[in-house]
Amino acid sequence: MIIPRICGGRNERKVEFMENRVVIAGTACIVNSKLSVKELEDFTHFHPEALILRNEAGEEVFSIGVIDGPGCLESDHAMYSSVESAQGKAVMTILLDPDEEDKLSLVMDTFGSALLRLEELENQLLGMKDTIEAEKKQIEEMIVQL
């Protein structure tokens, strides 16, 4: 469910998208993750398959990761920036068409499906965070540094 409401300056619109926050500020769309960059990198090292959303037939439909740069959101993947937000979460910044007047509709129409998949995948990852921490601890106990 998307709930648009005005907040802040005259050209800023905040959109709450379930637990993810999508902020449209001028010609930028900022997507804030539920996870930190470190948590996403931990999944990359310990359970890379968890970063892939699959359909009932087992086909890959969406994936997430971390890259250098502002990040990107496409129909089949999301890439967060390696730089975290002030809240310590992964974030991506998407530049919008400056000539488009209705930025909210643009974001909903262009990225709506990807945002739903991103929400689903991040919820799955949140459910696995304890598993990752337990496995890291188990591995650490197996290693002796002299």
Dihedral over Cα of 104, 105, 108, 109: its sign: negative
As a whole number, mean pLDDT of residues 2-13 equals 35
As a whole number, mean pLDDT of residues 44-59 equals 95
Residues of the chain above pLDDT 90, percent: 79
The predicted pLDDT at position 53 comes to 97
Q: CA 89 to CA 40: how far, in whole Å? A: 10
As a whole number, mean pLDDT of residues 26-41 equals 94
pLDDT band at 86 (very low <50, low <70, confident <90, very high): confident
As a whole number, mean pLDDT of residues 39-48 equals 95
What are residue 78's phi and psi, to 5 degrees?
-130, 135
Q: CA 70 to CA 31: how far, in whole Å? A: 11
Q: Which residues contact 103 (CB under 8 A, 6 or more apart)?
A: 13, 24, 27, 29, 96
Q: Are 33 and 22 in contact (CB under 8 A)?
A: no
The answer on pLDDT for 66 being more than 90 is yes
The answer on pLDDT for 101 being more than 50 is yes
Chain-wide mean pLDDT for the chain? 86
The answer on pLDDT for 106 being more than 50 is yes
As a whole number, mean pLDDT of residues 112-131 equals 95
Better pLDDT: 15 or 38: 38
- Sheet of strand 77-81: strand arrangement: 52-54, 60-67, 77-81, 72-73
Q: Are 14 and 21 in contact (CB under 8 A)?
A: yes
Q: Which residues contact 98 (CB under 8 A, 6 or more apart)?
A: 27
The full length of the chain comes to: 146
Domain boundaries, the chain: 2-142
The predicted pLDDT at position 17 comes to 38
As a whole number, mean pLDDT of residues 98-123 equals 95
Other Cβ atoms less than 10 A from the Cβ of 108: the count is 17
Q: Are 51 and 67 in contact (CB under 8 A)?
A: no
